[in-house]
Structure formats: structure tokens, C-alpha cells
Chain A
Amino acid sequence: MRRALPGLALLAALLLVPFALRPPLSQSNADASRRLVILTPHNEAIRYELTRGFRLYLAAHGQPEAAIDWRAPGGTTEIARYLASEYRSAFEHYFSQKLGRKLSERGAIAFADARQDPGGSDDAALARRTFLASNVGIKIDLLFGGGSFDFSQHAAAGRLVDSGVQARHPELFGAGGIPQMLGGEPYWDKQGRWVGACVSGFGICYSPQALARLGITKVPKRWSDLTDPRLFGQVALADPSKSGSANKAFEMLVQQAMGEAMAAAGNPTAGTPAEAAALGQGFDAGMRLIRRIGGVSRYFSDQASKVTQDIQSGSAAAGMCIDFYGRFESDLPGPGSRLRFALPEGGSSMGADPIGLLRGAPHAELAKEFIDFVLSPEGQALWSYKLGVTGGPDRYALRRTSILPAMFAPERRPFLSDPDDNPYRSAQGFTYHGAWTGPLFRSLSFVIRLMCVDTEIELHAAAAALTKNQNPPRANAAFDDMSLVSYTVVKDEIAPALASGDPLREVALQNRLVTALKQQYERVAELAERHE
């Protein structure tokens, strides 16, 4: 025992230090009589500021205090799986209690399937109908944070319900308020099941030092600047199959190329073969650009913070990142000087980061008060105001962009952390055409994953061989050949397969395309090495 005393003393000291440094508990709201449960991927900084802000808001409006129980089981994909499995279980329980019989496996799949017609008489339709008419809940009130794509999926499944915010605050959604769509991005759900709480978008971040080392003097301003072969292995990208927002950024890139092709063709009339040809050429050009960027990529990451971290530490030279990460990190003293952030010219979109009321919310009234708070000027100031200004955040500057147009009024400019980042102004330079790529949104991430992520090693080998051998013509043409994933293939073959809801059909397509793309890249490398 005596031999262990020095170790025990060290252990005791280690355990004491955090207790000695512990902050006072005055900010705890655990004693409040009302309780709100929120499921969120938001980080501790946002949770802290909004908890504090909501307490002040309730006090200012003469409302009783409320405690917020934040539930954070991970990022948006973990939350999606969590919600799916929790609702399934809750509904199975409800179904057996209400109808006195066990929910069939078919019903368990169909009850939250937006494609399921609730009007039929089979098990699946009965399950769907019963779920939509029910108040089945999972003891959580709100879903807060993610992308509009994720929220649209949850809303379509029936997990989100109308919070009534549009009826309570019509002024927020009318003329001069939050538009329903901006630059192709939905900002609120027409049925009130979710509404944007703030906005964010993907931009280009880069290290001036790393670019100089690679001999690149031109600052990247467009997505196409990321195809420079000197950037080989140095471009950090976000994975579109993991993030709806990242996929939206790639969709914008494709839309930009389609817009250019249409302009070059003299903007042919809608529905004509000329328009179809121009759109096909533009789509293929956009996908070709993505393949070129993929050829010099370092990775496609699902971690929002990894890209800026790697560029700051010198592991990558450039990449795509969410705006508030880029802005915040580039302002850091010291390491911040190694990171610059810019929204790409003409190819950016600012998407909503929503909030929505979950079906069966146990504290629905308090949840609605919270939504009202988030959309109020007081709540919006927490996202976008500088640290320390009146009405702004207390401990963390969140560097998020407000969704309320009124927050960009000239008199508020001095308070904003980033007064020049105004989504309502930047969207004016870009017209989104939903009909061009909207129905292909999921197909786009599917194709990018097969074309750049699953076949990454062969793609990199092909790109390296092309650069090494100075782009021999046949090899170059083979690399740019998009026939495997052309507009026609994506529209007529891939999109219907993904929409069929048949995983086996999707898997068969995936296996066939991966094999073919792998062979295409290996062929490119062979041709390049033979200088053909």
C-alpha cells in the first residue's frame, strides 16, 4: 500500500484540479418548472448562447422560467437514424396498443415512408394512415439544426408537424420577410413543419502560404480554380453523400455550368430538343469539373471542422468549408493568418439551418415559444452579432448568418460580425433553376460518391498519370468522357433506380458503375503512360 501512495497522491491531485477550476453553477436552469427537450447536432457554443438567450427572452416577456434539456447524439446522420429507430419503436408500441395486433414488418417500413399512399387497405397503408393521424412521440419536442434536405425528409416521413409559426407570425413570412425560396434553397416548409433558423453555405478556404509553396499565385475564387494539377492531393472537400448542404454546393456548381451552356446555345426555348441538348452538355461539363476536382482531392470528409483544421495545420492547401467555420477560424490570432475564406463567384448558395416541431412533442407550447424566440430579433442577434455588443452573444461569437432580412438593415451593421455576408444580396447574382437538377438531387451525391470517393485511388492514379505525361490527347479525352454518368444516364436510369425505393436495384447499379468507372480510370492511366 505504501508503494502506491505517490500514485494515489497524483490521482487525487488530478481529480481535484477540475473541481478547483469549475465555474460557478449560477447559470444552471435545472430548477425551472417547465422543461423543453431539444434534439440537436449544434455544438456547445450554440447550446450555451441559446439557453441563456431563451431565459432572458422568457423573463422579458413575463413568462415563467424554463429548462432546456439538450439531447446531442451526434451529427445529422446519427440524428436521422436515431429518429427513424425511435419513431419506429414508439409507433410499433402505439399500433399494438391501439389496434390490439402486432405491426407487420411491411407496416413498420411503410408507416414513415412518404411514398406510401395512406388511402389503401393493406397493412402498409393502414400503418401510414394510423401514424399520420396519431400523436405518437418520442418524448422530444424539437429538432434543431441540420440542412433543409434532412428536415424535408423528416417532414415527408411524418416525424415533423406544423408548429403554427406561420399563423402566429405572418409578418415574418410575408413581403419583406423570409422568402420561401432563395437561390434555389427552401427557407421554410409551406406546411409549417420546419422553418430556417439561420443560413449557411459552402465556400472556398485556402492557405496563402501553401498555395505560394506550390507556385500558385492566383487566389482561388471559383470552384474551377480547385482543378489546378499543382494542388494534387491538397484539396480537402466535403462529402455530398453525408451532407445535404455539401451536395447543394456541388449542385450549384453543376447549375452554373448548365447556365453557361444554355447561354452559349442562345437560351433555347424550354421543352425543345435544343434546350435538352444544352442542358445535357452543361450537366456533363459540371460533372467533368467535379471529376477534375476529385482528381486532385485529398479526401471527401463528413466532418465540418476537419477541412479548416487541415488547411490551418498545413495538411491541405485549399478546400470547401461551411462559411461560419471559415470565417471564425480565419480570425484566430496566429493560426488564423494561414486560412482565408471566400464565397465562390457565381456558384454559391446559402441554405437554411432549420428548426421543427416533432410529432407527439410532450411540451408543444413551450416548443412553439422557443421557435418564436429563435426567429425573433433577440434570437437572431445571437447568431450574427459580435461578442459583447448589447443583445449579442455572451461567451461565443457564433458567426452565423441571420435568416431575417430585417437583420441586415443599415442601423444593425455595426453590430454584425460579418456585415458583408448578406444572403439576400449574394443570391441576386445567381438564378437557380429547380427543374434542371432538383429531381436529380440525390442522384448527384450518388454519382459523385461513385465517381470520386469509391474509386478515389484509381481516379487519383489517372489524374497523376495525365499530369505526369502532360495530358496526352486520347488519355485526356478518355478522362473527360462522361458517358457512364451523363445527363441522360442520370436522368433516365440512375434517378428512377434511386426513386424506386428498391435497395437491391440501387446496389446492383452501384456495383456496375463502380466497376465500369474503375476500368475507365485504369484505362486513362494506361493511355497516359503510353503518351497516347
Chain B
Amino acid sequence: MSRAVRRPSALLLPLVATIFGVFFLWPLVESLRGAFVDQQGRFTLAYVSAVFQNPIYLLGFRNSLAVACGATAISALLGIPLALLFQRWEFPWRRPLAALVSLPLFVPPFVGALGIQRLLGPSGALNAFLRHLGLSDPSAPVDWLRDGRYFAVIALTALHLYPVLYFNLSASLANQSAELERAAEMLGAHGLRKLWRVTLPLSAPSLFASLTIIFIWSLTELGVPLLCDYDRVTSVQIFVGLKDIGQNPFVYGLVTVALVATVGLYTLSRLLLRRLDATAGVKGAARHERRRAGRLGQWLMTSFALLVLGAGALPNLAVVLLASSSDWYQTVLPSGFTLDHYKAALGHALVVPSIAQSLRYVSLSTTLDLILGFTIAWVVVRSRAPGRKLLDALSMLPLSVPGLVLAFGYLAISREGRPLSMFNPMRDPTVLLVIAYAMRRLPFVLRSAEAGLLQMSHSVEDAAQSLGAGPQRVIWRVTLPLVLPHLAAGGLFAFALSMLEVSDSLILAQQQQHFPITKAIFELSQLNGEGRMLAAALGVWAMLLLASSVWVARRLVGDQSRGFSDV
């Protein structure tokens, strides 16, 4: 390790570790304290060990693992071919179709659930369609979300998450040098052999990063199993326990076990896949030209992309239809259309201030994520500072912490008389909301940044140093521009998901003037009567806002950075 790396890392590691410790671990410990204190105020592990004596919770763990494995496998089966297709081949409608990949990330989870029920419920659009074809018995419609709910949970989770893999892999493929593949072809490796032995290994860090995120996200996914009324998975059991009137500390024992399991699985996967890091890809100057298949091949590619993207965008489509419908029951499409819900939702007094607040909170939290994510990734990948691997593993924890747990932790550390009382959300929740959003979405930026750094050859930075550039100049002029597509892909996720964050917003933003957009949507959805339609209409507006923001970001960043404009 050169001095150019050792000196900054000696400063940065304690700094980011302190920030992470104060704003993530401390509130987490405050919130989970109840799991380790008995009625007499003494330390105990009894609540944690009791989790292992409950057969329902053990089954919940097993099911969560199975869902995570299934969803990760399906995401890989959808995301890898799709990324290869869009990056390496030219086919009809490639550009407009590429713009649709991010759609599953733009729909607020509870609004998407309303839409999916209209599609897949017993009186939903799919059954109406099958009835038209004579394939369904009207007196005994299939209950798609319930009858096969275990598989529905896996499929819907995968369709929601495959863009994570797509974006990371696309960024990696776009930055791979074409020379290596050409060399492989000259040595006789073509087709699947080239893919398996050259292309995918070169993108191993990105693949590992995104598969890890998908696995842990699926393991802790709450929205999809709740939608399917499937409560025998750990995330739902925790959610149900947190809302229990009795407030038994047992649920915090369950959260603790889930957290330890997440870190354990992450560490295990890193150990198993450690060798992949060493095979980091090389970024080079020679860019891949997209190839053209025959006419039939091209249309097969378009059909495959349409099928996957269409399935992934079903919640978006359903929400748009629901928001525009006067009624939608046992028909393929709504029986009538109206714009009244949009007018009522967008004209509601809650909405305008919440838009301004959301943009403020999320732009700040995404910036914080980019700074923290890049800094941690740089320390982890480029330095040998002691404790860096622990920080790396701990940084994945936010994925498995329920938003409610963290939100109550923030409340605990910011009350009157506590050291962070100046951030008390009763006065103004901005600081805590920005931190909460940033902490919960940090893993996305961190994994992307790490993948970018691993894929970048040290020799480029070494060359810059040998030409006299100092450490700061190397980072600013060489490292950052080369990992920009990866950072942008991670930042995109952080931005979109923070805009749609629900649980922190519900607890921390209590006064109407501080509500972010998700809390406004939630408030509208609680109104009797047309509340759900209003929530759907505001959900459509939020989708459009996110889609156009990302589109603009792509254009702005993409102009300067190869790769990101393609993802």
C-alpha cells in the first residue's frame, strides 16, 4: 500500500466509522435495548434464545431464505440476459425499451399493492381476460395472489428487484474493454464459452454486488409478502410483532437474530466469493460495438425484452389504470375513465408543501450517500486499514433493519436531555429524515462504488501518481470519473427509493408542514371513499417525477460519462 493511500485512509476510516456509528449503530442499539434487558433491568439473552424455540419463527426463517434464494435466482435469470442484450446487441425498440427497466423501482410499494390486486385478485383483470378466452370458470375464479402465494412472493419480489442487477451489470459491461473479448475470440472462445469464461468474470464485482443486495433485500422484503397475505416469513413476523399491542420484547429478539443472520450471510458470501474480487475487470479504451442478429433473432430479442419489462412494469400500469378509473371490477380494463382523481389529489392542500419537502430531504440524503458510499468503498477497496472489512459488513446492515426500528432509535437519541436533542424531529425533522434516508439507502451506493473500484485497474491510478499527481488529484481527476457510472447507478437507486420511503417518514415527520410526499400519499389513502384512487393518482405523479428526474440525470451525467447513459 502506497503512502498516497495509507495517509488519507488513516483519516477517513475513523471519520466514516464515527458517522456510521453515531447515526446508525447508536439508534439501532437504543431501539434494540429492550431485547437484552429483563424486567429487573439486568442483561439477558433469554429473549433472543426464545426465538429459536418457536417453530413458527424458525419456519419463517426457512421460508425467508427460500424466498431470497428463489428471487435472487430469478432476478439473475432475467437481469443478466437483459443487460447483455441491451449492452451487446442492436434490435428494434432497444432505446425506448431500455428506458422502461427502471419502472418497477418508481412505484410506491403500498400504492403498487393496490394496483396489483386489481390485476391478480379473484375479480381482477387477469381472470376477466381468461374468462373472455373461455379459460376460466366465472363461478370459481383463480385467486392468483393467494392460491400460489409462496411462488407469487418469489416472482413478484424478483420482478421488483431485477433492475438492481440490470443497472449494475450494464454499467460494468459498458465499461469493459472490447480488447479482451476480441482476444478471447481470436483464441477460439465464442458464444456461451466467451460469456462464461471472459465477459461474466470481468463483471464479477458488479454481479456479486447486485446479487448480494437482491439476496438481502429479498430476505427482508416486507411489501410483497404483505400484499400476498403471506405472514410466514421473518420480515412480516417482525412487522406484525412491532405492531402488537402487548409490546413484548421478544420481537426485538427476533430483529436481533435477523440482523445477525444478515451480517453472517453477507460475510459468508464474501468469503466464498472472495476470489472474484481478484479477477477484477479492466476498463479500457476500446468500446464494444453493438452487434446485429438476423431479422428473426432481432425480433426474438425485442419479444424477450418486452415480456420481462412488461411483467416488471405491471404494478405501474395497474396504478395508472386505477388512478384513471371510475370503476374497475371483473373487467380487463376499467369500465370508465376519469381525470377527477388526479385533480383532487394534486389539488389537495397536503401535496404542494410535501413535494418541496421531499425534494429537499432526498437531494440532501442522496448527496450524503454518494459521499459516504464512495469514501467507505475507497477505504475498503484501496486501503489495508484495520477494521475496514468490519465496516464493509456493517454497512450492509441497513438493508435488514426495519424502518420502524430505526425511526424509534432516532427518536430516542434526539429527545430533550440527550446529546442530539438539537435534531429533535418535534421541532424540525429535516436532519433526522435526511440521515435516516441516507443510512437506509447507503448499501446501494456503497456496493456500486465498490464494484466500480474493483473493476478499475490500479495501474491507471499508479500511472497518474508516477506522473506527479497527489492523492487528492488522483481521486478527483482519475478515480472518480472512472467510477462515475457506478456511483450514478447507485445514486439513482438511493434517490428513487428515498423518495418512496414510508416508515421513517411516518414516524419522524409528524407535523403537516414537514410531511414528505410518501406521507401525503399515505394520508390521502386513509380517506374514506376515494382515498385509494387519490393515493394512486398521486402515486402516478410521483412515478412520472422520478422517471423524468432519472432521465434528466442520465442525460446530464451520461454526456460526460460513458456507460451511465446506456443503463
Contact = CB atoms under 8 A, between A and B. Distances in A.
Given A14-B548, A43-B523, A456-B231, A302 B54 contact: no
A510 B523 CA distance: 35
Interface string A337-370: 0100000000000000000000000000000000
Interface string B122-152: 1110000000000000110101011000000
A338 B329 contact: yes
Interface residues of B, number: 86
Given A11-B548, A233-B143, A314-B124, A106 B41 contact: yes
B510 A72 contact: yes
Contacts of A77: 242-245
Contacts of B138: 213
Contact of A3 (B349, B529, B559): B559
Contact of A507 (B50, B56, B229, B418): B50
A315 B506 CA distance: 27
Contacts of B243: 75, 77-78, 242, 302
Best-surrounded residue of B352, B506, B528 (most CB of chain A within 10 A): B528
Interface stretch (A19-27, A55-63, A263-271, A284-292): A19-27
Interface string A95-109: 010000000111011
A329 B529 contact: yes
Contacts of B56: 454-455, 514, 518
B526 A305 contact: yes
Interface string A7-38: 11011001101110111000100000000000
A23 B549 CA distance: 26
A81 B411 CA distance: 11
Contacts of A151: none
Contact of B416 (A3, A89, A242, A446): A89
A431 interface: no
Interface stretch (B32-40, B362-370, B451-459): B32-40
Interface stretch (B185-193, B433-441, B550-558): B550-558
B531 interface: yes
Contact of A86 (B246, B346, B415): B415
B47 A507 contact: yes
A70 interface: yes
Interface in B107-133: 114, 117-118, 121-124
B228 to A, nearest CB: 10
Contacts of B143: 233, 315
A48 B215 CA distance: 44
- Grouping DSSP codes into helix (H, G, I), strand (E, B) and loop, the A interface class, with mixed when no group exceeds half, is helix
Given A71-B511, A313-B123, A334 B327 contact: yes
Contacts of A14: 541, 544-545, 548
A501 B54 contact: no
Interface string A71-101: 1111101101110111001101100100000
Nearest to A240: B245
Interface in B517-567: 523-532, 541, 544-545, 548-549, 551-552, 555-556, 559
A232 B372 CA distance: 52
Interface string A268-307: 0000000000000000000000000000001100100100
A240 to B, nearest CB: 9
Contacts of A200: none
Contacts of B507: 73-74, 78, 82
Contacts of B466: none
A27 B351 CA distance: 15
A515 interface: yes
A412 to B, nearest CB: 22
Given A77-B245, A314-B123, A22 B37 contact: no
Contacts of B145: 315
Given A4-B555, A43-B526, A73-B510, A22 B55 contact: no
Contacts of A167: none
Contacts of A23: 347-349
Nearest to A147: B245
B245 A242 contact: yes
A383 interface: no
B41 A21 contact: no
B415 A11 contact: no
Contacts of A456: 231-232
A439 B409 CA distance: 34
B249 interface: yes
A504 B231 contact: no
A515 B552 contact: no
A399 B527 CA distance: 12
Contact of A44 (B350, B510, B551): B350
A11 B121 contact: no
A508 interface: yes
Interface in A136-176: 139, 149-150
Contacts of B511: 69-71
B431 interface: no
Given A86-B411, A242-B243, A313-B117, A139 B528 contact: no
B16 to A, nearest CB: 28
Given A74-B506, A233-B143, A328-B529, A7 B555 contact: yes
A390 to B, nearest CB: 23
A23 B347 CA distance: 6
Nearest to B42: A105
B77 interface: no
A139 B426 contact: yes
Nearest to A504: B46
Given A1-B559, A399-B528, A504-B50, A515 B415 contact: no
B38 A504 contact: yes
Given A44-B524, A72-B510, A82-B411, A334 B326 contact: yes
A406 interface: no
B352 A11 contact: no
B430 interface: no
A244 B250 contact: no
A328 B552 contact: no
Contacts of B524: 44
Nearest to B544: A14
Contacts of A78: 243, 404, 506-507
Given A7-B548, A139-B426, A507 B248 contact: yes
B415 A93 contact: yes
Interface string B326-345: 11011000000000000100
Contact of B39 (A82, A109, A241): A109
A106 B40 contact: yes
Contacts of A508: 50, 53
Interface in A202-243: 210, 213-215, 233, 241-243
22 contacts: A15-B355, A23-B349, A43-B523, A43-B526, A44-B523, A81-B247, A81-B408, A82-B408, A89-B417, A90-B416, A213-B141, A302-B240, A313-B124, A313-B329, A314-B124, A315-B121, A453-B231, A456-B232, A503-B250, A506-B250, A507-B248, A511-B50
Given A335-B327, A446-B246, 8 more contacts: A8-B552, A14-B548, A17-B541, A18-B541, A75-B243, A241-B246, A305-B525, A504-B38
Interface of B: 37-42, 46-47, 50, 53-56, 114, 117-118, 121-124, 138-139, 141, 143, 145-146, 229, 231-232, 240, 242-250, 326-327, 329-330, 343, 346-352, 355, 404, 408, 411-412, 415-418, 426, 506-507, 510-512, 523-532, 541, 544-545, 548-549, 551-552, 555-556, 559
Q: 8 closest A-B pairs (Cβ-Cβ)?
A: A314-B123, A105-B41, A93-B417, A21-B347, A4-B555, A89-B415, A7-B552, A106-B41
Interface of A: 1, 3-4, 7-8, 10-11, 14-15, 17-19, 21-23, 27, 43-45, 69-75, 77-78, 80-82, 84-86, 89-90, 92-93, 96, 104-106, 108-109, 139, 149-150, 210, 213-215, 233, 241-244, 298-299, 302, 305, 309-310, 313-315, 324-325, 328-329, 332, 334-335, 338, 396, 399, 442, 445-446, 453-457, 498, 501-504, 506-508, 510-511, 514-515, 518
